[in-house]
Copies of this chain bind each other. A is one copy, B any other.
Amino acid sequence: MAKIAIMGLGVVGGGTADLLAENREKIRAACGEYLDLKYGLDVRDMPESPYRDLIVHDIAPIANDPEVSIVAETIGGVKHAYDYTVRLLGAGKSVVTSNKQLVSEHGAELLALAKENGCRYLFEASTGGGIPVIGPLSRDLSQNEITEISGILNGTTNYILTRKRDGGVGFETALAEAQQKGYAERDPSADVEGADACRKISILSATAFGKLIPPDKIHTEGITAIRQSDVSAAASMGAAVKLLGRAIKRGGECFVLVSPFFVPGKSPLAHADGVYNAISVTGNYVGDVMFYGRGAGAKATASAVVADLITAKTDASPVPTWEPAGEDFPTEFDSFVCPRYLAFSGIERNAVRVVFGDVTFLSGAEGEVAFITPAGTERECADGIARLSAGGGQLLSMIRVYESGERPEA
């Protein structure tokens, strides 16, 4: 029997404790032994909690207990979570976490510390909620050169965009709905401005490429500027607007970004709706695979935390390490190539053709000229926008168009 501690008995930590109890026999079959909760670290006393007798308010009893070999960190944030994690890994105890901020900011250091001390630092629950994706990338797909990861990584924004498309519901109303359903935080800025997806693509990118790009070095756009008419323009060409986190290796270049994209209906990412997340991975042997499921919620996230507790017991593969990102990694974002959707007022189609060449016009809202550009770099696009603006045009929207390497051939 192995003894476990959970730090932070909030929504995810509480769900983890529940799962350990409810699916106890399943876990024993997977691990070869029971995983028993011995401590719950929390600032609160929680007299109503079924775990009240296990509560401690200090890290010392956990760090000093030789019976405890694995600890789940579901505190969130950096301050306490970082200190506790360093202390536990330093004591040779494996730590599993749902804390995307901590992993995206300090993952390289914490993995190195785990390796040094012969234990593990695992973070399946930090990305994609319950969806197995860090595990599959680290194990089932580890023999592939990964060339791309593109994912819908934030449920709140995907809910808002889905409601915009299917119900014509405005941003504020859809956000209020998402908050009412418990999907969105009271302060939704990290969701709608892309910071949450940014942390997650930073973690996925590091898992695939072995180099951690800090979130503040990742080009990040949110969904607050997306208009109803943009969503309709996408639908008119059989596409859906999705906020994607993308990490792409092409030749010697590597791009990591978060931005809204027009995703063509041929891509399975276009059909991951509502609060669901979906992560597409391309490898040099496996081709395209996609992982889909609930990206948040107590039970789904607890599933990922417990998956890591089991992994900490049963995985004998080498602990990976992440290098810090250098000067050339990622590549300067100005060189990123894709087609783009643009909407302008105050210009004629002819001017567009002169500047952008062989575009495809869409039926935009009244008084607008909306079109898809040929593939070009960020720099080329900015130049084109400047030229049309100098000619009296007013840019209303710019949304990139997703092109994946592979498509179903039928």
Contact = CB atoms under 8 A, between A and B. Distances in A.
A141 interface: yes
Interface in A62-85: none
Most buried by B among A23, A30, A143, A317: A143
B26 A132 contact: no
Contact of A30 (B29, B159, B304, B317): B317
Nearest to A162: B410
A15 to B, nearest CB: 8
Contact of A311 (B15, B31, B139, B320): B139
A101 to B, nearest CB: 23
A271 B142 CA distance: 27
A26 B408 CA distance: 27
A116 interface: no
Nearest to A130: B286
A115 to B, nearest CB: 12
A139 B130 contact: no
A398 B145 CA distance: 45
Most buried by B among A23, A162, A163, A311: A23
A141 B314 contact: no
A287 B299 contact: yes
B300 A143 contact: no
A294 B285 contact: no
Most buried by B among A144, A162, A270: A144
Q: Is the interface of A mostly helix, strand, loop or mixed?
A: mixed
Contacts of A285: 15, 19, 23, 130, 299-300, 302-303, 306
Interface residues of A, number: 72
A23 B144 contact: yes
Given A135-B136, A285-B300, A288-B293, A143 B307 contact: yes
A409 interface: yes
Contact of A135 (B139, B300, B303, B317): B139
Contacts of A166: 410
B291 A291 contact: yes
A121 B399 CA distance: 49
Given A318-B29, A410-B163, A283 B303 contact: yes
B289 A293 contact: yes
A143 B306 contact: yes
Nearest to A285: B303
A404 interface: no
A19 to B, nearest CB: 5
Interface stretch (A185-193, A272-280, A353-361, A366-374): A272-280
Contacts of A302: 285
Given A27-B142, A162-B410, A286-B293, 16 more contacts: A23-B145, A31-B318, A124-B140, A131-B289, A132-B132, A135-B140, A139-B139, A139-B307, A139-B310, A143-B310, A268-B268, A268-B271, A275-B408, A287-B294, A289-B293, A289-B294
25 contacts: A22-B284, A32-B317, A32-B318, A130-B285, A130-B286, A131-B289, A132-B136, A132-B289, A136-B136, A143-B310, A162-B410, A268-B271, A268-B272, A270-B271, A273-B408, A274-B408, A274-B409, A275-B408, A283-B303, A286-B293, A286-B299, A286-B300, A287-B293, A313-B317, A316-B316
